Chains A and B, each alone.
Chain A
Amino acid sequence: MPHLFGSVVLAGTLLGSGAFAASIDIEIKPGPTTMSAAERALEPDPAAGTEHAEILVMEFERDEDYRLNALYHVHYRIKIHSAEARDWADVEIPHRTNYDQLQRWWGRTILLDGTVLELTEDQLERQRSARVGSTGETVAKAALPGVVPGCVIDYGFTLKLDRAYMPYQEIRLQREAPIHSFRYRWKPTRELGAAYRVTPGVGFELDARRDKDSVLVTAKDVPALVYEPMMPPPDSISASVVFYYYDGSGGLKDYWTLKAKRRAGSERPPEVVRRAVTEIGLDPASPLDDRLRSAYAWLLRRIKNTNRLTMAEVESRALDEDTPDGTNALARGEGSAGEIDRLFADVARALGAEAHLVLATNRTRRLWDQSLLSMNQFSEMVVAVRDRDAAKPEYTFVDPGSGLPYGELPWWVTGASAMMATKDGAKEIFLPPGPASQNVRETRVAVRLGELGEPITASWTVRAKGQIGTDDRTRLHRSAPDERQRLLDTLCGAQSGIEVLRAESPESETSQGEMRVDCEIEFEQRMPEDKLGRFRWDARGVWIDSIPDLRPGKRHHPVVFDYPYVDLMTLDCTAPSGMHPGAVPEPIQLDSPFGRYQRRVSIVDGGFRVERKLAIIVLAVPPSDYDALRGFHDAIARADAEPLDFLGDE
């Protein structure tokens, strides 16, 4: 399976080597005091992201090598299209009280009739936004005058920052409004290792040039970022610029090699682990995979995961002074998710397997960017194991710290690349999503239409395994009793028009494994009071997750599902009193590259039975397949909407 997303980056370190541009000096200065014909002609266009405003000029210069201080120059020029965007003229310049100094300011509004309204530096107002002892933060504020739709605002300032440098600065170029012209020159302090990373976008110029001690990034006609449902995380698809300092010397490869080696640790498991493995009593003659699975299950039973305690456990431990002591999770009988992962890697090695820690990102937030020299990208850890003696050694990825079964990973780390830490250095490795069959929800629903004038009731049980309901399961596990009941009510569809009569889920010892929820509800909608010749019931309900509504039109980004899954539902609907089932809807089967859908209706015990099966087998769908996916969704929505038809008894 291909990686979900990817980008080509321009990256580099600022260490005074390589080929340099002749000069990349820029001057940040006020824009013209007149509105150009081109600026005047700009019109709002919601489709292009210019409904409210567009940024004509956005430029910065940050010199962090200025006599132990930093000089920060900023200039914005913005065309205001709507009343909604007038707030863009409320300028705030935060700086440290008594340390930083506002050295220059200009701000003006240029109206369509040519009038220029200035806000001078002495008209800036200052508000102390925070104070800690004698230090704190002050905000210089300017509400530019006369701002109306059609005007252009132009403002800028220079701040002298006392002994200040930004360890990490990320500027996302694609935002809610397009940028006509972007410039950023960064001159880092010579005291530290400095680097930059530029991620280009599609359909516009983005360039990075450097001289011996600074880098200049320029861009032209940067389009607004288009927001779409089920899109990848904006940070992973937007053009961006990162300037940062890093701990170390050398380039990209050295950085990751060094970090990976540090994480890899010793290949020889500690004595305590080797002894424990002996105690498990695994048959050395059994296949390694069997022994790894047994050891995995033993570990989950043996070690309490302190990241997954129930609220009651957290509470009881809060006043308990006899919490287990010891540096080793095995000795304590408990450990954090990370400790459990590391322990399993040791256990696997003790069993003779090759095992490595794998550092991963949460792909709903960001992807691993190797050109960005920062370990802060990683928020997750899993373990890769394999039998090095197998004929065709392949890694199995496991995450005992998550509590998931052997071979399953939290969905948010799958479908993306991760860093495997080995003694030889970092290795990029793809974490594949689990198959749909791992993530199954099965729902059995009984709907009672009942007597005329009576409420309609329904009860159902949903069982989910794998990734389905992972978040809900974890939240239920960790919630206080009242909060847990509210969550259960929500899972049972508590909303307008529905009264939840019962919402229960058996307490489980772990936050993983199968989740079961039992629901009983009463609809606000009652059966009609008068005798009917015909009654139709819409079998869609809170027991079915609604199919995402994909709008017609051009799609810009891939459609990303959380994980492949299978959703099975059987619904039995009794006939209303004095009525019987009418025509049985035709069976429907839809097959597509994205999944399969079946709906079959039959008559059972004088009522209707609806059997629905939906399998989504893909993780991401490229824009080129969007219309086909939308067609599949529309067909499902239409099939689900086919009502059950009851006729009055003669």
Chain B
Amino acid sequence: MTMNRQAVAFGLATVLFVVTPSFARLPDWARQIAERAPSLPEGVSPDERHVLIQETNVTAEADGRLRTHRRVAEQFLRVPSAPDATDAVIVDDSSKVITARGWHVPYEGRSERSIGLAVEFSVGNDFLNDSRARVVSLDGVGKGSLVFYEFEVLDSPFSLDLLHVFSGSGAPIARAGFETRVPPGWTVRHAWLRGADVPPTVEGNVMRWELSGIRLPPRATGLTEPAGDTHPTLVVSFTPPDGAAIKTPHHRNWQALGAWFDEISAGRSDATAAIEAAAWTAVEGAGSGRVQRLAAMARFVRDGVRYVAKEIGIGRFQPRPADQVLGQRHGDCKDKAALLRAMLATQGIPAFPILVNASREKSIADAVPAISAFNHVILGVALDPDEAIPDWAGTAVVDAGEIGRLLVVDVTDDRTAPGWLPGYLVGKSALVVSGGRSRFVRLPGEAPDAHRIERDVEGVVEPDGRLHFTRTTRIWGEPASDARGAWRRSTKNWRARSEHALRDEWPGATVQALDVTPETSEGAFVEVVRIAAPLPPGNPPMIVPLAGAAEDLDRVSLGRREVAVVYPHPIKLSFTSRWKGSFPILEPQSRSDEGEGWKVAAEINTEGDLLRASWEARLSRRRFEVAEFEELKRLWTAADRAGRLMAPLEAR
């Protein structure tokens, strides 16, 4: 007993002597963490800092407000790149910051509380919004520093759901907890959109999820999945009991969410005389086909209404009236969709808003309806069942069941032609809004034909050995969007890049003409280049008719890569080459290779003084896990080999 008392006394003395001076000004929760903080690793740590604990508690108040309390503890493992450490909470006009404070314990130093005035910065890329970062900044941070942050925010949200991303802002997280509390009678639905699918512990009205050892995926350059899809993500939806007097929208199912969007959009797509006049102007000369007419109106809105986002309050979800959008000629995605819907209505063409997430690959959980699942609005335009769909528009058609077949149109993306879909929409789950009939569809564009690059070379080997050839490139789908975007940004830079690539392929070449049609009526981007070149250097001189064919297939270095290769969309590449000249007779040759989700084929033959060669690669899958890199290398090798399959031919 005496011994024990002595031990306790010694322990207290130690604590008082060692701990109290350092951690005296820390709150209890932070002091407990500080006392158990791990020692610093030997040598140079690969991580500048790590999160010791990240704790988030969300409490639903009986009146529908959400109170979020967050605590974070971090330790700096090496000399920081900046002497300040900051953390922030994002708020808007519907929220109130109750607490925002921080503490800093320098290595073997005394704790200091953040002092100074409240600091807020607006955040986001919108032209106008009310989102702000409430910042806590701690200065003098160095190696070994412990920093602690605490935030409490009371929010009156526009929807009783939220996404929680377990992110340490670039640092690994040792332990993270997320907790919900609800009043009696409320229910909480949840789903992991990404992560370990850890079940919650439930105690009364408290649900708690705990994760540990969260590390960022290893760094990789190129062909990676979207940045937002790299952290464990939980979606949570709160439902009050029936009859509760809660004004905040909450949705029992996705149909209810669709109905809510319909409700707040009511009247916003009403046509006016000005809208009808604009519609008639747009369709003038477009022909009588529905697809041609709707494409003409889509171009009108896409090109004539500039993107200006004003995301304030309910304006984040509710479109502005179509006549206002037309009058001002600016608006965001939902505004532009509303205007197009109104214009289509004047032509007797029904259309439906489609809610989708433009940046996350997976944002939908079947059992957890959440408005936070979406960040973009596009339009599904009803097709005439009795009218054939032109080939060029086929890749953007989706079957929406009882709503009918729809042509999916995104008039916000001014790079993408009607009838085609940008890569960021391909294969996404999206909610077609039609009141109680609202339903999910899987957006089209997943076939290689929906994203094509077709190159066609016609050339002559002159008797004096000089080459003259014309290269025509037709691009469709997302590659066309990319090309169109680059062309619109700077025609001069486009020409420079195009000419550079050609001179690299054909040393000494001169580009005699370069013409671009950025968007044909069928949605293609077309470039035609006329080139004169000496025979490529070499003894004897030769030409390789399919040279460069495989270069449109994006690749990355796999040697040290530890994450999957993710193509943004499927793709079909083709290259044909026809040369007139004096060639030796060549036995026809062909070659094809295929693997899981890809196929490559090429052939060459001569006929009289004509040399013909063709090459094609189809990639229908988008993802190659690390274990599948050998398969990916097979694809790349096959594409290269097919391009070189033809023995280079001598010009006689």
Q: Which of A140-148, A182-190, A612-620 contacts B (4 or more CB under 8 A)?
A: A140-148
Q: For residues 360 through 414 of chain B, which have their beta carbon under 8 Å from a beta carbon of chain A?
A: 414
Q: Which of A274-282, A283-291, A387-395, A497-505 contacts B (4 or more CB under 8 A)?
A: A497-505
CB closest chain-A residue, reference B648: A536
Q: Which of A53-61, A210-218, A244-252, A641-649 contacts B (4 or more CB under 8 A)?
A: A641-649
Chain B 96-132 near chain A by CB (<8 Å), digits 1 or 0: 0000000000010000000001111110000111101
Name the A residues within 8 Å of B306 (CB-CB): 83, 86-87, 89, 147
Name the A residues within 8 Å of B122 (CB-CB): 127-130
Q: How far is the CA of A529 from the CA of B144 in the complex (A)?
A: 57
Q: Are A130 and B488 in contact (CB under 8 A)?
A: no
Q: Which of A18-26, A312-320, A344-352 contacts B (4 or more CB under 8 A)?
A: A312-320
Name the B residues within 8 Å of A499 (CB-CB): 557-559
Known: A87-B306, A551-B499. A143 touches B127 (CB 8 A): yes
Cross-interface CB contact of A534 among B46, B558, B647, cutoff 8 Å = B647
Known: A549-B504, A637-B507. A311 touches B557 (CB 8 A): no
Known: A146-B327, A524-B637, A637-B507. A500 touches B559 (CB 8 A): yes
Is B330's beta carbon under 8 Å from chain A?
Answer: yes
Is A583's beta carbon under 8 Å from chain B?
Answer: yes
Is A638's beta carbon under 8 Å from chain B?
Answer: yes
Known: A83-B414, A480-B44, A642-B537. A143 touches B330 (CB 8 A): yes
Q: Which of A156-164, A198-206, A231-239, A488-496 contacts B (4 or more CB under 8 A)?
A: A488-496
Q: Are B644 and A528 in contact (CB under 8 A)?
A: yes
Q: How far is the CA of A582 from the CA of B538 in the complex (A)?
A: 11
Cross-interface CB contact of A51 among B490, B504, B508, cutoff 8 Å = B490
Q: Are B46 and A480 in contact (CB under 8 A)?
A: yes
Name the A residues within 8 Å of B490 (CB-CB): 46, 51
Q: Are A637 and B492 in contact (CB under 8 A)?
A: no
Name the B residues within 8 Å of A551 (CB-CB): 496, 499-500
Q: Are A634 and B508 in contact (CB under 8 A)?
A: yes
Name the A residues within 8 Å of B510 (CB-CB): 552
Q: Are A141 and B127 in contact (CB under 8 A)?
A: yes
Name the B residues within 8 Å of A132 (CB-CB): 117-119
Chain B 479-521 near chain A by CB (<8 Å), digits 1 or 0: 0000000001111100010011001100110100000000000
CB closest chain-B residue, reference A111: B329
Is B79's beta carbon under 8 Å from chain A?
Answer: yes
Chain A 525-544 near chain B by CB (<8 Å), digits 1 or 0: 11011001110100000000
Q: How far is the CA of A158 from the CA of B187 in the complex (A)?
A: 55
Q: How far is the CA of A468 from the CA of B117 in the complex (A)?
A: 49
Q: Are A549 and B130 in contact (CB under 8 A)?
A: no
Is B142's beta carbon under 8 Å from chain A?
Answer: yes
Is B267's beta carbon under 8 Å from chain A?
Answer: no
Name the B residues within 8 Å of A638 (CB-CB): 507-508, 534, 537
Q: How far is the CA of A84 from the CA of B636 in the complex (A)?
A: 36
Is B556's beta carbon under 8 Å from chain A?
Answer: yes
Whole-angstrom distance between the Cβ of A43 and the nearest chain B Cβ: 14
Q: Are B558 and A318 in contact (CB under 8 A)?
A: no
Chain A 281-307 near chain B by CB (<8 Å), digits 1 or 0: 000000000000000000000000000
Chain B 290-306 near chain A by CB (<8 Å), digits 1 or 0: 00000000000001101
Name the B residues within 8 Å of A87 (CB-CB): 306
CB closest chain-A residue, reference B560: A489
Q: How far is the CA of A501 from the CA of B499 in the complex (A)?
A: 34
Whole-angstrom distance between the Cβ of A638 and the nearest chain B Cβ: 4
Is B465's beta carbon under 8 Å from chain A?
Answer: no
Q: For residues 37 through 58 of chain B, which have their beta carbon under 8 Å from a beta carbon of chain A?
A: 40, 43-46
Q: How far is the CA of A643 from the CA of B633 in the complex (A)?
A: 25
Whole-angstrom distance between the Cβ of A92 and the nearest chain B Cβ: 9
Name the A residues within 8 Å of B500 (CB-CB): 549, 551
Whole-angstrom distance between the Cβ of A382 and the nearest chain B Cβ: 28
Whole-angstrom distance between the Cβ of B224 and the nearest chain A Cβ: 14
Q: How far is the CA of A419 from the CA of B641 in the complex (A)?
A: 60
Whole-angstrom distance between the Cβ of B124 and the nearest chain A Cβ: 10
Whole-angstrom distance between the Cβ of A87 and the nearest chain B Cβ: 7
Chain B 129-171 near chain A by CB (<8 Å), digits 1 or 0: 1101000000000111000000000000000000000000000
Name the B residues within 8 Å of A639 (CB-CB): 537
CB closest chain-A residue, reference B131: A127
CB closest chain-A residue, reference B539: A583
Known: A90-B308, A132-B118. A125 touches B557 (CB 8 A): no
Q: Are A146 and B79 in contact (CB under 8 A)?
A: no
Name the B residues within 8 Å of A31 (CB-CB): none
Q: Are B328 and A318 in contact (CB under 8 A)?
A: no
Is B527's beta carbon under 8 Å from chain A?
Answer: no
Name the A residues within 8 Å of B559 (CB-CB): 489, 494, 498-501, 522
Q: How far is the CA of A529 from the CA of B634 in the complex (A)?
A: 13
Is A407's beta carbon under 8 Å from chain B?
Answer: no
Whole-angstrom distance between the Cβ of B10 and the nearest chain A Cβ: 27
Q: How far is the CA of A532 from the CA of B44 in the complex (A)?
A: 52
Q: Are B79 and A496 in contact (CB under 8 A)?
A: no
Chain A 123-156 near chain B by CB (<8 Å), digits 1 or 0: 0010111111110100001010111100000000
Whole-angstrom distance between the Cβ of A646 and the nearest chain B Cβ: 12
Interface size on A, residues (CB 8 A): 70
Chain B 550-571 near chain A by CB (<8 Å), digits 1 or 0: 0000111111100000000000
Name the B residues within 8 Å of A501 (CB-CB): 559
Cross-interface CB contact of A84 among B488, B504, B633, B644, cutoff 8 Å = B488
Name the A residues within 8 Å of B508 (CB-CB): 634, 637-638
Is B70's beta carbon under 8 Å from chain A?
Answer: no
Cross-interface CB contact of B329 among A134, A148, A315, A643, cutoff 8 Å = A148
Is A585's beta carbon under 8 Å from chain B?
Answer: yes
Q: Are B539 and A524 in contact (CB under 8 A)?
A: no
Whole-angstrom distance between the Cβ of A454 and the nearest chain B Cβ: 12
Name the B residues within 8 Å of A128 (CB-CB): 120, 122, 132
Name the B residues within 8 Å of A622 (CB-CB): none
Q: Are A496 and B556 in contact (CB under 8 A)?
A: yes
Cross-interface CB contact of B538 among A82, A482, A489, A643, cutoff 8 Å = A643
Q: How far is the CA of A522 from the CA of B557 in the complex (A)?
A: 11
Name the A residues within 8 Å of B560 (CB-CB): 489, 494, 500
Q: Are A480 and B329 in contact (CB under 8 A)?
A: no
Is B222's beta carbon under 8 Å from chain A?
Answer: yes
Known: A87-B306, A312-B44, A499-B558. A583 touches B540 (CB 8 A): yes
Q: How far is the CA of A639 from the CA of B536 in the complex (A)?
A: 10
Chain B 277-315 near chain A by CB (<8 Å), digits 1 or 0: 000000000000000000000000001101010100000
Is A593's beta carbon under 8 Å from chain B?
Answer: no
Q: Are B641 and A528 in contact (CB under 8 A)?
A: yes
Q: Are A82 and B488 in contact (CB under 8 A)?
A: yes
Known: A83-B303, A318-B142. A525 touches B557 (CB 8 A): no
Q: Are B328 and A145 in contact (CB under 8 A)?
A: yes
Known: A524-B633, A634-B508. A51 touches B491 (CB 8 A): yes
Whole-angstrom distance between the Cβ of B512 and the nearest chain A Cβ: 11
Q: Are B539 and A645 in contact (CB under 8 A)?
A: yes
Q: For residues 402 through 451 of chain B, which have their beta carbon under 8 Å from a beta carbon of chain A?
A: 414
Cross-interface CB contact of A46 among B492, B555, B557, cutoff 8 Å = B492
Is B78's beta carbon under 8 Å from chain A?
Answer: yes
Q: Are B328 and A311 in contact (CB under 8 A)?
A: no
Q: Are A143 and B637 in contact (CB under 8 A)?
A: no
Q: How far is the CA of A314 from the CA of B508 in the complex (A)?
A: 51
Closest 4 CB pairs of A and B: A133-B117, A496-B555, A499-B559, A318-B143
In the complex, besides A533-B647, A634-B508, A643-B537, 19 extra interface pairs with C-beta distance below 8 angstroms are A46-B492, A83-B306, A127-B122, A130-B121, A132-B118, A145-B327, A148-B329, A315-B143, A318-B144, A319-B40, A498-B557, A500-B557, A500-B559, A524-B555, A525-B637, A526-B641, A529-B641, A536-B538, A551-B496
Q: List 21 A-B contacts (CB under 8 A).
A: A46-B492, A125-B310, A128-B132, A129-B122, A130-B120, A141-B128, A143-B308, A143-B330, A145-B329, A147-B330, A318-B79, A318-B144, A319-B144, A480-B45, A496-B222, A500-B559, A526-B641, A536-B538, A583-B540, A585-B539, A641-B537
